[in-house]
Homo-oligomer: A and B are copies of this chain.
Amino acid sequence: MSDWLEELRGLLPADVLVEDPDVVAAYAVDRAGQEHGTARALARVRTTEQVSTCLEVADRHGTPVVTRGAGSGLCGGANALDGCLLLSTERLDRVVELDRANRVMVVEPGVVTATIRSLAAEAGLHYPPDPGSVGFATIGGNVATNAGGLCCVKYGVTGDFVRALEVVLPSGEVVRTGHRTVKGVAGLDLTSLLVGSEGALGVITGITLGLLPAPPPAATVVATFDEFTDAGRAIAEVVAQGLVPSLLEVMDRATVTAVDRMTGMGLGEPAAMLLAQSDTTHAAEDAERLAGIFTSCGATDIAHTDDAEEGAQLMAARRLAYEALEPLGTLLVDDVCVPVDQLPGLIATIERIADEVGLTIATVGHAGDGNLHPNIVHDGHDPASVAAARRAFDAILTAALEVGGTVTGEHGVGRLKPDWVGREVGPVSARLQAGIKEVFDPHGILNPGRGLPLP
């Protein structure tokens, strides 16, 4: 039997199939920086046909294929496996169509998410999803992980905007799922099944997105609190009063302090900072109401504006959180989501866990969704510190499950959490998921070991 790589050399142009070990290695890891293997080659495909070629050959040889977008993932789901073919979708970057009359955009997976948002805005439309990596992440990865972001509290996640997909199967066959129309129930919802499937079922080569009308400019409110519990009460009160802000974020003391040290913004060291926006036609009124709730819950300092540029300045502290935390040490980023009324309790638990393991845990989160990202700061070169970080990571997941939450709100399973997801969903669900995997990928070549729960 001939070698798969040799076979691909004869089928793909030289600029598509990359074997230079330095270049290949540059594509071997995502932003989580977890352990990874060594790929044999990298295919920077330009067409759906080239994807079919790669998969058909790999499937015949039983070669693992790891598909990746921009590598902005946070759970190692796109990390290389030993001997694998890395399949990069970055050059599948055409905007195929923007249909203003029907508020539909058709794109290839390599288009940067921020580009989709700005193209939509130029047409008077809105593509809400805005994961932290929106400026460099690509839509294919966003779809493959069902990425969230700051918008979700009002607008939902990536999958809520995906109407149809073009997907290549390991057989090399191309399948189209879903519908271009607003509604459609023609058979099983394969589109939703593929959204968030983390490269384990097929390779996405085309995406039809439904867009919204552009909202008015957002008004912004930022408040600081001396007691974290006050911020927790404020979040619960926003929900209880039936407000639907377009953004409702929280940062803890460790995060605010880190941002302040990096930027000199003069944020002080509050126990918590809340950031909220509204983008209705009466956003300024909404912002007044939000500010009123924050004040009544004990906010010590409040700034609000209905000017978009001033709002962006107020939001800068949140946008810079991850960059501000990175210099503190190695970050193990967790991602739990709990019922919103469980948020204050979970925050207290995280503080207790930080004390117990003796590490700083800096928490930022999409408060309105109950989705927190505790960043466990440790020394990645010190095995004892790594072990302590892992203990904290596991303790946070346990705590989230205990209050009816999930072990991943938006980052996904990747290589970090197959065991934890297995614990969350249980053996029957894990067996069904393994069965579905086998229907799509009978030889198990697509991102083996990732994205699905361990039984």
Residues on A lying within 8 angstroms of B by beta carbon are 99-104, 124, 145-146, 148, 152-153, 157, 159-160, 169, 173-177, 179-190, 192-193, 195-197, 201, 212-214, 236, 239-240, 242-244, 280-282, 337-341, 366, 368-371, 404-413, 417, 421, 424-426, 428-430, 432-433, 435-440, 451-453
Contact = CB atoms under 8 A, between A and B. Distances in A.
A199 to B, nearest CB: 12
A175 B236 contact: no
A406 B163 CA distance: 12
30 contacts: A99-B339, A101-B240, A101-B339, A102-B339, A102-B340, A103-B239, A152-B183, A177-B425, A179-B337, A180-B405, A181-B405, A181-B409, A183-B366, A185-B196, A186-B407, A186-B413, A186-B417, A186-B425, A186-B453, A187-B429, A187-B430, A187-B453, A188-B193, A188-B197, A188-B201, A188-B452, A190-B429, A214-B242, A432-B439, A436-B439
Contacts of A197: 188
A177 B337 contact: no
Contacts of A369: 181-183
Given A102-B339, A181-B370, A183-B406, 18 more contacts: A101-B340, A101-B341, A102-B341, A159-B189, A174-B428, A175-B429, A179-B405, A180-B339, A181-B337, A187-B425, A188-B201, A188-B433, A188-B452, A190-B433, A213-B243, A280-B280, A432-B440, A436-B436
Contacts of A187: 413, 421, 425, 429-430, 433, 451-453
A198 to B, nearest CB: 9
A372 to B, nearest CB: 11
A281 B338 CA distance: 30
Nearest to A420: B186
A119 to B, nearest CB: 16
Contact of A426 (B99, B176, B188, B282): B176
A407 to B, nearest CB: 6
Contact of A424 (B183, B186, B196, B244): B186
Nearest to A215: B242
A413 B181 contact: no
Given A179-B406, A242-B214, A428-B175, A104 B339 contact: yes
Contacts of A213: 242-244
A452 B441 CA distance: 21
Nearest to A434: B439
B185 A409 contact: yes
Which 6 residue pairs of A and B lie closest in terms of their CB atoms, listed nearest first? Answer: A213-B242, A192-B192, A435-B439, A184-B406, A101-B341, A182-B369
B157 A160 contact: no
Contacts of A157: 183
Given A213-B243, A429-B176, A439-B432, A338 B181 contact: yes
Contacts of A190: 429, 432-433
A242 B43 CA distance: 41
Nearest to A440: B432
A171 B306 CA distance: 58
Contacts of A159: 189
A75 to B, nearest CB: 10
Contacts of A174: 428
Contact of A177 (B185, B338, B429): B429
B184 A409 contact: yes
A189 B196 contact: yes
Kindly name the residue among A176, A212, A242, A453 whose own CB sees the greatest number of chain B CB atoms within 10 A: A242
Given A428-B169, A439-B436, A146 B185 contact: yes
A178 B370 CA distance: 16
Contacts of A371: 181-183
A262 to B, nearest CB: 28
A433 B185 CA distance: 13
Contact of A196 (B180, B188, B281, B421): B188
